């Protein structure tokens, strides 16, 4: 039996130093004021760092679109999608981002199956559930085309900008909701 590849773990101090460097060198973080340190962030992460490919790729694409188009006076079009099929059709039509409305999820697609627009009475993981469904549909469209050797769109996995509808409580609730959004593949 061969040993699995295990990267050499960085110490918490090394992780904090790398994060401080990222915050100071990457223009994405310019102008951001924090009331916490890189060491605080590292302490909350734990020992295992999970990779969330869809969220990372999507947020990088969204950042590039927004900053690139802002420089030229442009903008990024996005329509609201509540289902994976709607998102697939939007990408086919040429949209480069998808918007997911928290109000619409509360009204029509929350996990309780009831209508609760803008009341935050439905399960807090409802928006992340729909984000995951949309990403699953986009992944499937990509898989089908890839298996058939076709490419009808440049990239099926466009950024999903999701309204978290975070009226569910305090900082811990917002933290857990954002973790769920990232795990589901939300980009912004």
Q: Show the DSSP H helices in 34-170 as ranges.
A: 38-45, 53-71, 84-92, 102-104, 126-148
How does residue 156 score in pLDDT terms, banded at 50, 70 and 90? very high
Query: Is pLDDT at 86 greater than 60 in this prediction?
Result: yes
How does residue 92 score in pLDDT terms, banded at 50, 70 and 90? very high
Q: What tokens were used for 55?
A: 């969220």
**Residue 48: its pLDDT value, please?**
84
* Residue 160 contacts residue 134 (beta carbons within 8 Å): yes
Query: Is pLDDT at 50 greater than 60 in this prediction?
Result: yes
**Residue 6: its pLDDT value, please?**
64
**Residue 167: its pLDDT value, please?**
67
Domain boundaries, the chain: 11-49, 52-184
Rg (CA), the chain: 19
* CA 66 to centroid of chain Cα atoms: 15
How does residue 69 score in pLDDT terms, banded at 50, 70 and 90? confident
Tell me what percent of the residues of the chain surpass a pLDDT of 70: 94
Query: Is pLDDT at 5 greater than 80 in this prediction?
Result: no
CATH topology of domain 52-184: TIM Barrel (3.20.20)
């Amino acid at each position: 039996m061969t040993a699995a590849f295990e990267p050499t773990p960085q110490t918490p101090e090394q992780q904090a130093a790398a994060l401080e460097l990222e915050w100071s060198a990457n223009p994405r973080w310019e102008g951001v004021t924090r009331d916490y340190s890189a060491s605080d962030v590292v302490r909350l992460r734990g020992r295992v760092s999970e990779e969330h490919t869809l969220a990372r790729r999507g947020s990088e694409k969204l950042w590039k679109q927004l900053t690139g188009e802002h420089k030229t006076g442009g903008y990024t079009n996005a329509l609201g999608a509540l289902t994976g099929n709607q998102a697939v059709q939007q990408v086919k039509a040429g949209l480069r981002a998808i918007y997911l409305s928290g109000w619409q999820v509360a009204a029509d697609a929350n996990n309780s199956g009831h209508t609760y627009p803008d009341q935050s009475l439905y399960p807090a993981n409802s928006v992340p559930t729909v984000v995951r469904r949309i990403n699953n549909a986009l992944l499937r469209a990509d898989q089908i085309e890839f298996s058939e050797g076709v490419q009808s769109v440049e990239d099926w996995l466009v950024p999903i900008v999701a309204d978290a509808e975070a009226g569910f409580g305090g900082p811990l609730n917002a933290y857990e909701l954002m973790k769920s959004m990232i795990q589901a593949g939300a980009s912004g």
